[in-house]
């Protein structure tokens, strides 16, 4: 199966929120990405509404359902509901994303920077996965490259894992040899356990081809920060087109 490109539009919401109002329009940006060839849309709403909000999630759900493309909703299943944020499961109940990607982040984190710890009691995580599966969501768990317990994701009911590729991107930028070695090994372990493999965080035009060449069988990459930044110079349509060319070649 060819690697699919899901564009994360969180950064569009960051720009909008920095000024207030409705510009730039998150849904319009997502529509432009889909028109340019993106296979789907990703967002990661935080409970503090620092960028994408619950109303954005519902509007993007409507767009992706209308287009018949994947909507990937990311979030921490353990974050409690609060005003304006119904909790991750509550948001999934409303939006019915095709894929729910669970990430163990907190409000204090600037961005997602680590995967789940599979060494402790996983009963609560298993319950959240089961609840999402009951909604018809494909469930993916955010994992660290090099985690020897990655196969445990299958035991808690997940369909896929998403490799956290931040360390890979840093190693690639530093010119280190075989920067994707840990990602490739973890991908193989996950696949041997029957899990599909996604990837995301700090992937860019500069490193994506090398990553996909080194890591076999990646089903989906979720890319936002670099893609939106590159689009400031080249435009969304051209930038998404370049990423499509990279995943199609892989």
Catalytic residue among 51, 70, 74, 128: 74
The answer on pLDDT for 109 being more than 70 is no
Catalytic residue among 39, 51, 159, 201: 201
How far is CA 82 from its chain centroid? 23
The answer on pLDDT for 133 being more than 70 is yes
Catalytic status, residue 51: no
> Would you tell me which CATH number, out of the four given (3.40.50.720, 3.30.565.10, 3.40.50.12590, 3.20.20.70), belongs to the domain 4-249?
3.20.20.70
Q: How confident is the model at residue 108 (pLDDT cuts 50, 70, 90)?
A: low
Contact 8, 42 (CB under 8 A): yes
The answer on pLDDT for 110 being more than 90 is no
Q: Residues 237-247: what's their mean pLDDT?
A: 98
H helix intervals, the chain: 10-19, 26-35, 54-67, 88-95, 123-134, 152-155, 166-173, 181-192, 208-214, 225-234, 236-249
**Residues 60-75: tens digit of each pLDDT:** 999 999 999 999 999 9
CA distance 207 to 205: 6
pLDDT, position 180: 98
How much is the mean pLDDT over the chain? 96
16: Cβ contacts below 8 Å, ≥ 6 apart: 22, 23, 24, 25, 26
Domain ranges (residues) in the chain:
4-249
Placement of tokens 């070649």 in the chain: 249
The answer on pLDDT for 53 being more than 70 is yes
Catalytic residue among 39, 44, 51, 128: 44
Any idea what DSSP says for residue 228? H
**Residues 171-209: tens digit of each pLDDT:** 999 999 999 999 999 999 999 999 999 999 999 999 999
The answer on pLDDT for 113 being more than 70 is no
Q: Residues 104-120: what's their mean pLDDT?
A: 79
Q: How confident is the model at residue 1 (pLDDT cuts 50, 70, 90)?
A: confident
Q: How confident is the model at residue 235 (pLDDT cuts 50, 70, 90)?
A: very high
The answer on pLDDT for 44 being more than 70 is yes
The answer on pLDDT for 243 being more than 80 is yes
pLDDT, position 171: 97
Contact 6, 210 (CB under 8 A): no
Catalytic status, residue 230: no
Catalytic status, residue 44: yes
Does this model's pTM top 0.85? My answer is yes
Q: Residues 8-21: what's their mean pLDDT?
A: 96
pLDDT, position 30: 98
């Amino acid at each position: 199966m060819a690697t699919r490109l899901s564009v994360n539009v969180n950064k569009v919401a960051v720009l909008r929120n920095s000024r207030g109002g409705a510009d730039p329009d998150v849904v319009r940006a997502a529509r432009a990405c889909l028109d340019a060839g993106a296979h789907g849309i990703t967002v990661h709403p935080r409970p503090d509404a620092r960028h994408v909000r619950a109303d954005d999630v519902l509007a993007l759900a409507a767009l992706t359902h209308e287009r018949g493309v994947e909507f990937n909703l990311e979030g921490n299943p353990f974050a409690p509901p609060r005003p304006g944020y119904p909790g991750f499961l509550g948001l999934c109940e409303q939006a019915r994303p095709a894929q729910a990607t669970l990430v163990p982040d907190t409000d204090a984190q600037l961005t997602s920077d680590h995967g789940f710890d599979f060494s402790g009691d996983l009963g609560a995580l298993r319950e959240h996965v089961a609840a999402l599966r009951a909604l018809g969501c494909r469930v993916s768990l955010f994992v660290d490259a090099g985690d020897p317990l990655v196969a445990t994701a299958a035991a808690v009911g997940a369909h896929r894992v998403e490799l956290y590729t931040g360390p890979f991107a840093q190693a690639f930028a530093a010119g280190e040899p075989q920067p994707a070695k840990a990602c490739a090994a973890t991908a193989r372990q996950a696949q041997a356990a029957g899990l599909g493999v996604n990837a995301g965080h700090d992937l860019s035009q500069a490193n994506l081809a090398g990553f996909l060449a080194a890591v076999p069988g990646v089903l989906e990459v979720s890319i936002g920060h670099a893609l939106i930044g590159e689009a400031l110079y080249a435009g969304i349509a051209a930038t998404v087109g370049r990423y499509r060319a990279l995943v199609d070649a892989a």
